[in-house]
A = this chain, B = another copy of it.
C-alpha cells in the first residue's frame, strides 16, 4: 500500500440548454492523469440550477423520458414566488433539489466501479446554454509511477 493521498480538480462543461451531458470520459481521464488506484471519487456541481445523476448510457430515449419526467415534477407554467430570473429558473431549482449536486463513486484499480449500463451525467435545467463548473475530489491510494 502506498498511503492515502488526496487530489482535486475543477472540470468545466459547456451546456446547450436543457439536457443530459455525459461526463464519464472526463472523470475517467482525470483519474488516469493522477494515477488514482483505489479510493473514492466525489463529483460536485457548483450550481443550483444544474445537477448530477448516474443513469443508463445505452438507449438515448431513457434520457428523453427522464427530462420529460423532470418537466412534469416542476412545470414552467405553475405560479412560483421566485419569478425574477425567468420561467425556467424556479423549475430548475426544484429539479436540482430532486436529483442532487454531489455523487460519491468508489474507485477500484484505477476505474470507477460503475455498472455496465451506468454513465455519469450533468443535467442542465436552464433553457439557455451555460458554463458549468464541477469540483472533483479523489481520496485514496495512487499507483506507483
Q: Give A residues with C-beta under 8 Å from B.
A: 1, 3-6, 8, 10, 38-40, 42, 44, 46-48, 53-56, 59, 61-62, 64-66, 69, 73-74, 80-82, 84, 90, 93-94, 96-108, 113-115, 117-118, 133, 135-137, 139-141
> Across the interface, do B93 and A65 meet the contact criterion of CB distance under 8 Å?
yes
Write the chain B residue with the least CB distance to A1: B5
Contact across chains for A39 and B81 when beta carbons are under 8 A apart? no
* Contact yes or no, B102 A99, CB < 8 A: no
- Are B93 and A54 touching (Cβ within 8 A)? no
* B-chain residues with CB within 8 Å of residue A106 when the two chains form the complex: 8, 42, 44, 135-137
User: Which B residue sits closest to A99, measured CB to CB?
Assistant: B97
B42 and A40 contact, CB distance less than 8 A: yes
CB within 8 Å for A97 and B8 given contacts A3-B3, A135-B106, A139-B39: no
Q: Which residues of B contact A82 (CB under 8 A)?
A: 59, 61-62, 64-65
- With a cutoff of 8 Å between Cβ atoms, the chain B residues found around residue A96 in the complex are 55
A8 CB to nearest chain B CB (Å): 6
27 contacts between A and B (CB under 8 A): A4-B5, A6-B139, A6-B140, A39-B139, A40-B139, A44-B106, A47-B118, A48-B62, A48-B118, A53-B97, A54-B101, A55-B97, A59-B84, A61-B81, A62-B93, A64-B81, A65-B81, A65-B93, A65-B94, A66-B93, A73-B73, A97-B98, A97-B99, A98-B98, A102-B103, A104-B137, A115-B133
